[in-house]
Amino acid sequence: MLSLVVENVSKSFFTSHNRIHTLDKINIEFKKSEFICILGPSGCGKSTLLNIIAGLETATTGRVILNGNEVKEAGPDRVVMFQEPALFPWLRVIDNVEFGMKMAGISKAERRERALKYLKMVHLTRFQNSFVHELSGGMKQRVALARALTLDSEVLLMDEPFAALDSQTKNILQLELQQIWWETKKTVIFVTHNVEEAVLLADRVIVMAANPGSIKKEFHIQLARPRQPENVDLAYLAAGIMKELKEEVEKVAKVEFDSEWSIKKDLLLSDSDSNMGIGL
Ligand SMILES: Nc1ncnc2c1ncn2[C@@H]1O[C@H](COP(=O)(O)OP(=O)(O)OP(=O)(O)O)[C@@H](O)[C@H]1O
């Protein structure tokens, strides 16, 4: 039974001339097989939090405890998937998918078996012998997802994995991910800027506040799956989450632009992609 707890985690970065207090006393308890989306304005520390859970960054104070052990470094029990697929262009798809397993010392026969299983899951069996440059952006991200799945980690950490994709491809991958999550029962921690994406995928949405990053509000979503973006209940939930997020995005914008800045009524709410706070 998985137990993953972020306990009182704070993080400051120290540069030559100042201290950036990025995260302030974050507490989250993740459940086995839970799908959690983390939303928040740009710079509130979403990636930093994910990296601390991954063991790629260390908390300044507080700790992350996975199955009773404090996380001190990256490990195969917490695989991370980023916005950029980071594939090796000189390797074929199947060899890219096998790469992590090769590093983990898994035998050749088992590597191949698992790679084919997960390539099938992401519907890329036909492309197993293709080179990366022959694939579209969405296909590359599906290869990265297959590679991430092969390590059979209990926890999958995803940092805006679909943000660089066009909206049709994104929709397909969101549906695929819902299916894969359902089949693999992993705990998924998914960082996004996109409110629609969050309500489509998550059991729980955590909205973060910025300066310093902290948890503003949590939303539990109990709607049946697979969810469809046009569902009325989803739209209603998205509007509630958007309202919380908008306040935070506006606060950040006021600091980064000037105090007169304000979001024009419903301007961002009508953005068809529901992305909030990107690149402020
Ligand atoms: N290695 C670092 N050194 C110094 N400051 C850092 C470092 N990494 C992150 N920060 C700072 O911490 C803050 C949070 O960054 P982070 O990337 O975690 O935010 P985010 O919410 O993921 O942003 P975005 O949504 O734009 O990706 C930012 O102010 C950033 O400049």
> What is the value of ipTM here, to two decimals?
0.97
Instruction: Decide if pLDDT at 198 tops 60.
Output: yes
Ligand 1 centre from 92 Cα, in Å? Answer: 33
Among residues of the chain, what percentage have pLDDT more than 90?
66
Quick one: three-class SS letters along the chain? CCCEEEEEEEEEEECCCCEEEEEEEEEEEECCCCEEEEECCCCCCHHHHHHHHHCCCCCCEEEEEECCEECCCCCCCEEEECCCCCCCCCCEHHHHHHHHHHHCCCCHHHHHHHHHHHHHHCCCHHHCCCEHHHCCHHHHHHHHHHHHHHCCCCEEEEECCCCCCCHHHHHHHHHHHHHHHHHHCCEEEEECCEHHHHHHHCCEEEEEECCCEEEEEEEECCCCCCCCCCCHHHHHHHHHHHHHHHHHHHHHHHHHCCCCCCCCCCCCCCCCCCECCCCC
| Lookup: tokens for 267 | 């301007």
Instruction: Decide if pLDDT at 121 tops 70.
Output: yes
Least confident span in 172-176, 227-231, 264-268: 264-268
The pLDDT-based confidence of 150 (bands split at 50, 70, 90) is very high
Residue 270 is predicted with a pLDDT of 43
- Decide which of 34 and 226 is more confident: 34
Give the Cα separation of 191 and 233 in Å (integer): 22
What residue ranges line ligand 1, CB within 6 angstroms? 13, 15, 20, 22, 40, 42-48
Ligand 1 centre from 48 Cα, in Å? Answer: 6
- Decide which of 172 and 46 is more confident: 46
**Atom 26 in ligand 1: residue holding the nearest Cα:** 42
Least confident span in 123-127, 175-179, 276-280: 276-280
Q: Tally Cβ neighbours within 10 Å of residue 1.
A: 6
Instruction: Decide if pLDDT at 265 tops 70.
Output: no
Ligand 1 centre from 44 Cα, in Å? Answer: 7
Instruction: Decide if pLDDT at 260 tops 70.
Output: no
**Atom 9 in ligand 1: residue holding the nearest Cα:** 48
Instruction: Decide if pLDDT at 266 tops 90.
Output: no
Among residues of the chain, what percentage have pLDDT more than 70?
92
Ligand 1 centre from 45 Cα, in Å? Answer: 5
Residue 272 is predicted with a pLDDT of 46
Q: What number does the ligand 1 atom closest to the CA of 50 have?
A: 18
Residue 241 is predicted with a pLDDT of 96
**Atom 8 in ligand 1: residue holding the nearest Cα:** 48
Instruction: Decide if pLDDT at 242 tops 90.
Output: yes
Ligand 1 centre from 224 Cα, in Å? Answer: 34
Instruction: Decide if pLDDT at 269 tops 50.
Output: no
Q: pLDDT digits over 17-75, tens only?
A: 899 999 999 999 999 999 999 999 999 999 999 999 999 999 999 999 999 999 999 98
Q: What number does the ligand 1 atom closest to the CA of 14 have?
A: 4
Give the Cα separation of 85 and 124 in Å (integer): 15
Mean pLDDT, the chain, integer: 89
For the segment 85-93, the average pLDDT, to the nearest whole number, is: 92
**Atom 2 in ligand 1: residue holding the nearest Cα:** 13
Give the Cα separation of 1 and 10 in Å (integer): 27
Instruction: Decide if pLDDT at 167 tops 80.
Output: yes
Q: Best substitution site from 46, 60, 191, 211 to test ligand 1's pocket, by max atoms within 8 Å of Cβ?
A: 46
**Atom 31 in ligand 1: residue holding the nearest Cα:** 43
The pLDDT-based confidence of 157 (bands split at 50, 70, 90) is very high
β partners of residue 35: 188
The pLDDT-based confidence of 271 (bands split at 50, 70, 90) is very low
The pLDDT-based confidence of 275 (bands split at 50, 70, 90) is low
